[in-house]
Amino acid sequence: MAGKENKADLYTLSILTGYVPNSFKVVKSLQDICRSAILSRLTLQRLQQVADLPLPTIIKQFLCHFRIPNDFNLDGIFIDYNFNFPNHVHHKTHQIHPGRCLLDNQEVLIKSEHINEPCALCNTIGNHTMVFEEEREKWRILRHRNLMNCYVGMVDYSSEIECFVLDFPKINLQDLSFRLYLSQIRSPEFLAWQLLFKLSDVLLYLQENGLTPWELCQPQHVVISSDGEIKLENMLLYLPLKSGRHFSTEMISRNVCLFHSPEQTQGLSHGPETLVWGLGCILYEIIAPLPSTVAQSKFCYSFPPLVLQGQMKSEYSDDLQKVVRECLRVNLDNRPTLLELKSMSEKKVEILGKSYKGPDSLLNLLPKCDGFEFMETT
């Protein structure tokens, strides 16, 4: 029994600190070597294709049985990922580590949580909503090029730790807009339309799967990967792991409140129209004279009226400014639909792309931000 406890302690230590004692390291068997060779060819990005391999089920299960010390190298310092998330910011029972997949050397985020560790604050503060396995499972299996995908789920019952492996974000949109503001660099209009197209596309995909994640439709939850791709964060970063766990719906920080739609501040229910409002806030973050991180306000939606007054950078077209104004209309029935935004932005990207010769992604604007060193993770 003592031996099992020691092994569990070592496993927990390796997850929480990234340190793997020599006594815990094992020599790879021939099976492990073959497994590593196969998965290094597939890579994390194509891990789902294991199911299509012409192999017995037991071998497929062996290929997809991941372990932290063997398959992933963790940075020892975990990060409090995002203090601006409206529902789950207080949830302290999970940790998120930057790490690296040892099979293909890809950077990843790994969320770990003790399965049976309660969150006392959840049970004592605010209105409570139940989170069920069905919702988490949707976020695990969803795949879209503009969504922060979850590649692997791991459970170690001896240490009672569950982990999710997700895409690694290089920088989030809110941090990027702040850096561009400090460096007096404007985003090309082509990239703004491209941003709108990609986000409206992924939001439509989520809506088709029964999800309307208004919490994620905000500038701080739009990230850019190391290859320059725009991605919406995955709700698994914030959802509790344990079935039926509560989370507070009242603990909303000042920065998040800045992006609340009029219907939310009035206590009304949210829907696809709220996602459109969020897209307006995201576009505003890119093209406005002052990003929200600079133009803080005590009021929940005091900055969008600046759009209505035309106080945006004059070098952007009337069409782009009009889209932002329409997305931020107070009357939700007068806002465009996600499908309309996708169709409009797709046409604009096609037209502007024929003559566009600037950077191919927002990430390529970062090298121009000389003299300003920031952490490049959210």
pLDDT tens profile 50-81:
666 777 777 766 666 666 666 777 765 555 55
303 pLDDT higher than 90: no
> What is the structure's pLDDT at 125?
43
Question: What is the count of structural domains for the chain?
Answer: 2
Over residues 197-211, mean pLDDT: 96
pLDDT band with cut points at 50, 70 and 90 for residue 302: very low
> What is the structure's pLDDT at 7?
47
Domain hosting residue 268, numbered range = 170-235+250-368
Secondary structure class of 101 (helix, strand, coil):
strand
343 pLDDT higher than 90: yes
Task: Judge whether 377 lies within some domain.
Answer: no
- Cβ contacts of 247 within 8 Å, gap of 6 or more: 87, 88, 91, 122, 128, 129, 131, 239, 240
User: How many other C-beta atoms can be found within 10 angstroms of the C-beta atom of residue 41?
Assistant: 10
237 pLDDT higher than 70: yes
Task: Judge whether 244 lies within some domain.
Answer: no
> What is the structure's pLDDT at 240?
63
Joined together, the tokens standing for residue 28 give 């790879």
Same domain, 108 and 201: no
Task: Judge whether 373 lies within some domain.
Answer: no
Same domain, 77 and 127: yes
Secondary structure class of 79 (helix, strand, coil):
strand
Among candidate residues 129, 300, 346, 163, the one with its CA nearest the CA of residue 237: 163
* CA 332/CA 268 separation, integer angstroms: 11
pLDDT band with cut points at 50, 70 and 90 for residue 154: confident
Same domain, 51 and 197: no
Same domain, 280 and 162: no
Same domain, 263 and 329: yes
The CATH number of whichever domain residue 83 belongs to comes to: 3.30.200.20
25 pLDDT higher than 70: no
DSSP 29-69: PHHHHHHHHHHHHHTGGGGGGGGGSSS-HHHHHHHT---HH
Per the prediction, the chain carries an average pLDDT of: 73
Query: How buried is 138 (Cβ within 10 angstroms: 0-12 exposed, 13-18 middle, 19+ buried)?
Result: middle
> 146, 216 in Cβ contact below 8 A?
no
Task: Judge whether 374 lies within some domain.
Answer: no
- Cβ contacts of 168 within 8 Å, gap of 6 or more: 98, 106, 107, 108, 109, 225, 226, 377
* CA 92/CA 75 separation, integer angstroms: 19
Residues facing residue 230 across a β-bridge: 224
* CA 139/CA 87 separation, integer angstroms: 17
- Cβ contacts of 156 within 8 Å, gap of 6 or more: 8, 11, 15, 68, 162
> What is the structure's pLDDT at 130?
47
Last residue of a domain, one of 135, 167, 199: 167
CA angle, corner 22, sides to 19 and 27, nearest 5?
Answer: 115
> 112, 15 in Cβ contact below 8 A?
yes
Over residues 157-161, mean pLDDT: 72
- Cβ contacts of 163 within 8 Å, gap of 6 or more: 15, 68, 110, 111, 112, 113, 152, 153, 154, 155
> What is the structure's pLDDT at 208?
94
> 143, 348 in Cβ contact below 8 A?
no
> What is the structure's pLDDT at 362?
92
377 pLDDT higher than 70: no
Same domain, 188 and 40: no
Residues facing residue 101 across a β-bridge: 72
23 pLDDT higher than 50: no
Task: Judge whether 346 lies within some domain.
Answer: yes
Same domain, 205 and 94: no
> What is the structure's pLDDT at 335?
95
The CATH number of whichever domain residue 336 belongs to comes to: 1.10.510.10
- Cβ contacts of 291 within 8 Å, gap of 6 or more: 174, 177, 178, 181, 219, 285
Pairwise pLDDT comparison (171 vs 260), residue with the higher score: 171
- The CB-side HSE value for 374 (13 A sphere, CA atoms) comes to 20
Same domain, 122 and 185: no
| AA identity, residue 87 | N
Task: Judge whether 297 lies within some domain.
Answer: yes
Residues facing residue 165 across a β-bridge: 110, 152
Last residue of a domain, one of 139, 167, 195: 167
Last residue of a domain, one of 115, 144, 167: 167
Same domain, 270 and 331: yes
First to last CA, the chain: 41
Per-residue pLDDT tens digits for 79-116: 555 444 544 444 455 677 788 877 777 888 888 777 76
Same domain, 100 and 194: no
Task: Judge whether 240 lies within some domain.
Answer: no
Same domain, 119 and 223: no
| AA identity, residue 181 | Y
Q: DSSP alpha helices (H): ranges in 64-132? A: 68-71
Task: Judge whether 375 lies within some domain.
Answer: no
> What is the structure's pLDDT at 131?
55
Joined together, the tokens standing for residue 267 give 């206590």
Q: Please give the DSSP secondary-structure letter assigned to residue 107.
A: E
User: How many other C-beta atoms can be found within 10 angstroms of the C-beta atom of residue 121?
Assistant: 16
146 pLDDT higher than 70: yes
Same domain, 58 and 8: yes
Ramachandran bin of 18, using left for φ above 0, alpha for ψ from -120 to 50, beta for the remaining angles: left
266 pLDDT higher than 70: yes
Secondary structure class of 159 (helix, strand, coil):
coil
